[in-house]
Structure 1
Amino acid sequence: MELFEVAEAGAGPYGVAVGPDGGVWFTLVHAGEVGRLSADGSVERFGLGAPECGPSVITVGPDGALWFTRMRDNRIGRVTVEGGVRSFAVPTEDAGPYGIAAGPDGALWFTELGANGVGRITVDGEVTEYPLPVAGAFPSMIAAGADGALWCTLNQADAVARVGVEGEVTVHRLPTGGTAPVGIAAGADGALWYVGIGGGLLGRITVDGKVTEYPLADRAAKPHAIAADGAGRLWFTEWGAGRIGVLTPDGRRDGYPIPGPGAEPHGIAVGPDGAVYAALERGQIARLAG
C-alpha cells in the first residue's frame, strides 16, 4: 500500500474518482477545494471560492469533467481536467446534495440528504428534482444500475431505492434493521452492491429486488463506500477500522489495514489498471496496486 500526502490535517479528503486524464481527483470537504493527484505523486488543488461549501462525493461526468456535490451550500460543482471550476444551484433550499453519479441518460443524478429526494442535472446545469416516498429516508450515495435506472441507499430507512430516468421510484426494504446503508455500486455481476455502516455488512440487491447479505467479521468496522473492479471484486472502506476491505467473487472477505492511526477512509475508487484508491480523513490518498 502506498500513501500520498495530499492535504494538511483538517482539510478532510472525502470523495475520490479516477479522471479521464489518469489523475486521481478528490474533494476536501473541510477546506472547500478539489484536488488532483498525478501518477508522479504531485498534487494540484483548486479552490471553489466558498471555503465552507462542503464538497463531498465526486464522479466523472459524461462530458469528461469531474462533477461533485457541495453539501453545505446547496450546489453541484464541476471541474474540468484543466482545473476550470463552476457550479450550479439546487432549487430546493437546504437540499443537502451528497451522492452523485453519471446516469444512462447523459445527465448526472444526485441525492438530497435534507430534502428527502433525488435530483438530475444536465451537463448544461438544468436541475430537476424528484421526491422520495419514504419520509426521513436520508438518501445517501447513488449509482447507475445495469437496468438503466439509478439506485440509491436510504440510510435512515434501511432501504435501497430504484429511480427510473423519468423519476419513478420503487423502494426495497432491507432485511436487517439498523443496516444504515451508505455506499452503493454496480457490480460486474449486474447487481447493485451496498455497504451498511450501521450493520457492519455488505449487501447485494438484484435489479428485481432480491437481497443477499454478507456480514463482516468486524461488525463495528463501519463500512462507508464501495466500488467494483473488472474482476468481480468489491472494494470498500472500513471507516471505523482504518482498513480497505474486499469481497471476492467466491465470497472471501479480506482486509488491508492502513498504516498509522486516524486514517478514517471515506471514498473509494478503482482505476482502469485495477489500482484501488481511498481518501483518508487525515490528509492522504491510499493506493493499493491492482
Structure 2
Amino acid sequence: MTSPAKQSKTKKNSVLDIASLNVISVPPTMRIIEGIQMMSRHNFRRLPITDPGTKKLIGIVTITDVIDMMGGGSRYNLIANKHKGNLLAALNESLREIATESVTGFSPATTIKEAASILLETGHGGFPILNPDTTLAGIVTEYDLMRMLAGKESDLVVDEIMTACPKKVAPDLPLSHVTKQIVDDGYRRLPVVKDGILLGMITATDIMGYLGKGRVFSEMQTGTVDEVLSLPVRDIMTAADIRTVSTDMPINAVAKEMLNRGIGAFPVMDGGRLSGIVTEFDLVKALTGTM
C-alpha cells in the first residue's frame, strides 16, 4: 500500500491536524446489514475494515459501495446471482464482500495542502491516513477541509462555483434508476423535480438509511431486491424542509450553513426555479485557493 502524497520531512500543517482521529473500524466478519446500520446511526460515508489482531487496514466500505450493491454496479451480483435476488440473504453476508480493498491512503506526514490537492484531483470524498505499518491513524474528508476553510475570506458567490443545470429525477422513477446514476455518474445526490418544481432530494444517504434504519424490514413483503428497486423515488427522498440557497449567496456563508446543518449539498434557486446545486466538493475547490 503506497501513499498518493509524497513523504514530507516536517509535520507542520500535517493532515492529522484536521482529520478525524478516533475512527471507528470494524472486523471483516461483520455482516453487511450491521455495517450499514452503523453507518446510518453515525452518519458515516465510509467504514474502515481492520484486522482484529494486527489492527491493520484491510479495506473500506463506502456509501457508494452500498449503492453499488443495490443495483448500481458490479456488487449487485452478490444479490442478483449468488442469492438469486434475495436481498435479506445477501445482507447477512460479511461486509468484506462489498468492501473496496487495496485502499490507498495518506501518510501522517502529508500536508493539508497536499491532501486537499489530491482529494480535488481524484474526486474522492475522503482518504484514510495510514501509519508506516498500515494501521489506521485517522481519516480526512472533504468535510474536514471545509470546516478548516469555512472561515477563509472569499469574494465568490454561489453562481460562480455551483454545478449549473444539474441532472434531476422525477418522483415516480424507480429507485433502480437512481442507484445506477449514482454509481455511473459519480453523484451522491439528485434533485427531485416535477413540472419544474423542486420537490426534494434523493441522496445516497437516503437509500442507505432505508436499509440501515430498518424501514426495509417493516415494509418488504417478498424479501426480493426487485421489490425495493421498484420503489418510486418519492417514497425514499428527503422532502421536508429542504434548505435552498440563492445564486448570489456568498460561498463563505454557504459553507458555514452546510457545516451547521451537517449536510453535503444545497439546491440553488433563481427566481423560484432550480438553477443548480452546490456541494462540499464545490466549496472546498473554491476555498482551497485561499490557503
Is the strand fraction higher in 1 or 2?
A: 1
Q: TM-score, normalised by structure 2?
A: 0.23
Is the helix fraction higher in 1 or 2?
A: 2
Q: TM-score, normalised by structure 1?
A: 0.23
Higher relative contact order (CA 8 A, sep 6+): 2
